[in-house]
Structure 1
Amino acid sequence: MNQPDDPASLTELLERLRSNTAGQVQVSVADILEAVGERSFGPLVLIAGVITLAPLIGDIPGVPTLLGLMVLLTLGQLVFQRHSIWIPSKLARRNIEREKLARGLDWMARPARFMDRWTKQRLLWLVRGPGQYVIAIICMAVAAAMPLMEVIPFSANGAGIALMAFGLAIVARDGLLALVAILATGGTAWFVWNNLPW
């Protein structure tokens, strides 16, 4: 599900998103998909997690839901081996201010460099072949729960951490990080379950 020209690190992915949206006033969902590669599983999930966590962006009401829908729709089609990704035009046109996106990317630059230093190829069976499809299904479950997380304070941050960790695990071919992401997903699920509003 990944492509040969996928970014090899989180830093490279952030730079790609920054350079591919330079000069724009608004950045749409379609622009983000084009920047990270709409046929690329790892970068797609990684950037959804990064944007969910970024200050001034992830805190905007509706953004976690929007990103969850993007992940759910695209990964669902990738899992079933579609050769082209379709997303509704209404979703594709949804946008955020480029200035806010740039500030969020700036905020992520230092943590990105830190994480890139600690990731390496290990436990490859968890991030290739069938393992990659298992991760895709878990990411879809996280994405499906993101609208609910908007009404539970701080739970969307847990989803962002899980998606970012899964995406980075795929990009860096780091199976150990995938295990950390599974733990983050379990912790977030536990937190959401114990804080449901009903």
Structure 2
Amino acid sequence: MSGSDSPPQTLGEMLERLEHIDRPDGRVSLEDVMETLGRRAFGPLLLLAGIVTVVPVIGGIPGVPTLMAGLVLLVAVQLLLQRRAIWLPRWLLTRSVALTSLHKASRWLAPVARPLDALLRRRWQALVGDHAVTAMAICCIGVALMMPPMELVPFSANGAGLALSGFGLALMSEDGVAALFAFTVSVATLVAIVAGLG
């Protein structure tokens, strides 16, 4: 397993890096993932949190959406503060899942990676510029704060996962269309949660 100073730029590249993680104990920690994706991987970490929340083999485990909420909150706050590198506490870095689950999720997503990556490109730069990134970070914080209650509302976590995935892809590819999709899904999900808990 080798780290990289440059974070992945596409979903396909991210999945390829994750697929190459190998641990003798059969467990992969968040620290292993950070070493693989890079300490500046704001977009990839948001994308990973979104994927974990959506993919049934991991996101369906009770407590996982709440754990991902903690990760998203920490990443989004540091994105808001314009930090160059991501810091995460030791208790979160040592959290782990079975390596087989990570590889199964990677293979589950592999068929959609290539066509999705082909759709993404640099465009609508106003939606991925500095002010937009600030808005993305604030929106991600809002989504993260709502994720624990989402465990009580069926399928609502899927909306959060899609929104986080969209923000992650927008940051990675600098695609304003992906950002617009993520903003739209975020608002729709938050409205659905408020209505579901009301």
What TM-score do you get using the length of structure 2 for normalisation?
0.90
For the structure 1 residues 177 and 102, does the alpha-carbon distance in structure 2 shift closer, same or farther, using more than 3 Å as the test? same
Cα distance in 2, alignment partners of residues 17 and 33 from structure 1: 10
Structure 1 CA distance for aligned equivalents of residues 196 and 82 of structure 2: 36
Q: How does 1:1-198 map to 2 (within 5 A)?
A: 5-19=6-20, 21-24=21-24, 25-82=26-83, 84-196=85-197
State the 1:110 CA deviation: 1.1
Q: 2-side partners of 1:26 and 1:56: how far apart?
A: 15
- Give the letter aligned to residue 91 of structure 2: K
Q: Offset at 1:82?
A: 4.1
C-alpha displacement of 1:75: 2.4
How much does 1:160 deviate? Answer: 0.4
Q: Distance in 1 between matches of 2:73 and 2:137?
A: 9
Q: Quote the offset at 1:84 in angstroms.
A: 4.9
Residues 46 and 75, structure 2, Cα contact 8 Å, conserved in 1: no
Aligned length, in residue pairs = 194
SS in 1 for 2:6: coil
Give the whole-Å Cα distance in 1 for the aligned partners of 2:175 and 2:86.
Answer: 26
Q: Cα distance, 1:109 vs. partner? A: 0.8
Which letter does structure 2 place at the counterpart of 1:153?
Answer: P
- Tell me the SS of whatever aligns to 1:86: coil
Q: CA deviation at 1:74?
A: 2.4
Stretches of structure 2 that go unaligned for 5 or more consecutive residues are none
- Across the aligned residues of Structure 1 and Structure 2, the Cα RMSD in angstroms comes to 1.8
Q: Which amino acid aligns with 1:110?
A: P
Shift of 1:83: 5.3
SS where residue 57 of structure 2 aligns? coil
TM-score scaled to structure 1, two decimals?
Answer: 0.90
Give the Cα separation in 2 of the matches to 1:155 and 1:51: 14
User: 2: CA distance between counterparts of 1:92 and 1:18?
Assistant: 19
Structure 1 runs of 4+ aligned residues shifted over 3 Å read 81-86
Point out where structure 1 has 5 or more consecutive residues left out of the alignment.
Answer: none
Read off the aligned partner of 1:119 and give its amino acid letter. Answer: L
